[in-house]
A and B are shown apart, each in its own frame.
Chain A
Amino acid sequence: MRERAGPRQPVMARRSSRLLPDLTWRAVTVWYRDARVWTTFYKASVIGNLGEPLLYLLAMGWGLGRMVGTVDGVPYIQFLAPGLVCSTAMYAATFECTFGAFTRMTRQHTYNAILATPVSLDEIVAGEILWGATKGFLSGAAMLLVMALFGLVTSLWALLALALSFLIGLLFSALSMIVTAKSPSYDFFSYYFTLAIAPMFLFSGIFFPVGNLPQWAQTVAWFLPLTHGVSASRDLFAGEVGWRIASDTLWLVVFFLASFIVAVREIRKRMVL
């Protein structure tokens, strides 16, 4: 009788049995891969990340600001800028974990290559999200720098906007990975950008106070993650650190963790047949 290799029970469907992600420090090696690639192309990337919010700041802050005057007691450009820190982090993370991650997953087969090593699929997802968050952080930092040059940074609390950019980056990277897992092609991302990201950019209180919206729309806005980012950012730049920042941050953290768990499950569904 030959020795059996192990139990002969079917070992089906083990992939879906694990709710929590299978994570170790190895996720950082995936982050390292993306970071290393970025260091060779970073110039174009920085210009892209900085250029757009800078244009918004100039056009809206100066141009529109002249007509608007003050909002909530501050000059319009000062009202606007903290929100742009958040939106630039959102866009950077979202691009990275939609177009970037999708390319690595389906075109370059990078995930397949990594899966032949001890790095788990969950760690690949975590590494990609960490990298997306890093891109958010870098964009947020660039925006903060521009604001400092414009003389818009008046409180030291504003430095915490860097951490906030990272958190917003984590959240939007995780959301993007869910979209990437579901996406049949690049075209799919234009729906996501049009139906989710653009409304968030416009209605989360960056350009006008959410309080200006009708009550039902304010309720909807409360469910948009960026609303809480913008609110927290505005408080940081104003140096008003209190319970509102704490609750907004908690909201972002919880939303991120939930999205991360869903992202891991959806990528597993797509990659493990």
Chain B
Amino acid sequence: MSIVVSATDLTKRFGSFTAVDGISFEVLKGQCFGFLGPNGAGKTTTMHMITNFLPITQGALSVLGLEVMTNARVVKARIGVVPQENNLDTDLKVLENLLVYSRYHGIPLRQARGRAMELLSFFQLAEHARSPIEQLSGGMQRRLLIVRGLINEPELLILDEPTTGLDPQARHVIWQKLRQLQAQGVTLILTTHYMEEAEQLCDRLVIIDHGRILVEGTPRDLIRKHAGQEVIEVRLRPGEDRERCLETIGGTVPEGAEVECSADTLFIYSADAAKILTDLAIDPGRTILHRRATLEDVFLRLTGRELRE
């Protein structure tokens, strides 16, 4: 399979601050590739380098086989960008936004109009073609941003947090449309901090933090490798710490399991949680939760539980 994006030792510094610190990755054609990370991890900066919005400080980055910085126009003509910030043109109505944007891409008007209407109906926005932007809901504006990113029939679509701030209905519509696009052969790169989104959409993903890639793999492999099959959450009682709690419920860390403790919860990661549960002497009245391991467990184990603001 051909390589759509290839980054080697990609680095971005702003003055003395290193936002992206020597990352390497490859995105294959037809894949949906995810960048997961807490706020400030370097996701958006990486997207900005791929779309040539920001110059690269160091390293090599090729998109569609072309070195981005020396082929900016060609690359931009062949990729679609859905930015995190809503930069729809509020001076123009919905359809006008798309027609003016087509001009930037050099698409002839008649062709642009056809393509715009087609995409608007695909994203269930056709009846809003003549609406001002402010009259659209958040979900509709986000869909319009995706439509705009697709107006030049890109081979690669880059989505920076495409569903942040949307309600579940709006989010599911976008997921469904993105899966359809992928089925049509469009390669997708997306950033998100919704684990569910990554599990739903991504074939492969990297978890990045402090500008570095921590792990890379398929969602399923990452879960198996870093969080096991199942998780037991044991809520701590007031004043209790990790050792006291373990003592109360059975003594030591169960064999074959890993234990982690946050402020008020003990997490036991294990392949066979049912057995551990029967072995533990859970005292009556204590809150426990037995569930399947998710990408969120992987994420929190790798990036830590402290707040990022």
Contacts and interface: CB of A to CB of B under 8 A. Distances in A.
A117 B105 contact: yes
Interface string A98-130: 000000000011101111111110000000000
B60 interface: yes
Interface string B1-29: 00000111100001000000000000000
Contacts of B69: 11, 14
Contacts of A6: 60-62, 67
Interface stretch (B86-94, B252-260, B268-276, B288-296): B86-94
Contact of B83 (A3, A112, A273): A112
A64 B173 CA distance: 68
B54 to A, nearest CB: 6
A174 B160 CA distance: 34
Contacts of B9: 8
Contacts of A11: 55-56, 58, 69
B104 A29 contact: yes
A219 to B, nearest CB: 43
A29 B73 contact: no
Contact of A113 (B59, B61, B72, B83): B83
B104 A12 contact: no
Interface stretch (B95-103, B185-193, B222-230, B235-243): B95-103
Contacts of B92: 33, 36-37
Contacts of A40: 91
B207 interface: no
Interface in B136-181: 149, 152
Nearest to A33: B100
A272 interface: yes
Contacts of B304: none
B309 interface: no
Interface of A is mostly: loop
Nearest to B73: A118
Nearest to B99: A36
Name which of B7, B103, B104 has the most chain A CB atoms within 10 A of its CB.
Answer: B104
Contact of B89 (A33, A118, A120): A33
Contact of B106 (A26, A109, A120): A26
Nearest to A15: B55
Contact of A5 (B14, B53, B67, B149): B67
Interface string B29-50: 0000000000000000000000
Given A29-B103, A108-B87, A109-B87, A115 B53 contact: yes
B232 interface: no
Contacts of B87: 108-110, 112-113
A30 B58 CA distance: 32
Given A114-B104, A273-B54, A8 B59 contact: yes
Interface residues of A, number: 35
Contacts of A13: 55
B63 to A, nearest CB: 9
Interface of B is mostly: mixed
Contacts of A30: 104
A33 B152 CA distance: 18
A108 B90 contact: yes
A43 interface: no
A109 B103 contact: no
A2 B26 CA distance: 11
A97 to B, nearest CB: 16
Contacts of B88: 113
Contacts of A33: 89, 92, 100, 103-104
Contacts of B205: none
Contacts of B72: 118, 120
Contacts of B73: 118, 120
A7 B51 contact: no
A116 B83 contact: yes
A32 interface: yes
Contacts of A119: 104
A119 to B, nearest CB: 5
Nearest to B104: A117
A116 B55 contact: no
A151 interface: no
A109 B87 CA distance: 5
Contacts of A36: 92, 96, 100
A10 interface: yes
Given A33-B92, A114-B104, A117-B152, 8 more contacts: A12-B58, A14-B69, A29-B100, A37-B89, A109-B87, A112-B85, A118-B72, A118-B76
The 8 closest A-B pairs by CB, nearest first: A5-B62, A109-B87, A117-B104, A116-B81, A113-B87, A5-B60, A6-B67, A118-B73
6 contacts: A8-B8, A26-B104, A30-B104, A33-B103, A118-B106, A273-B14
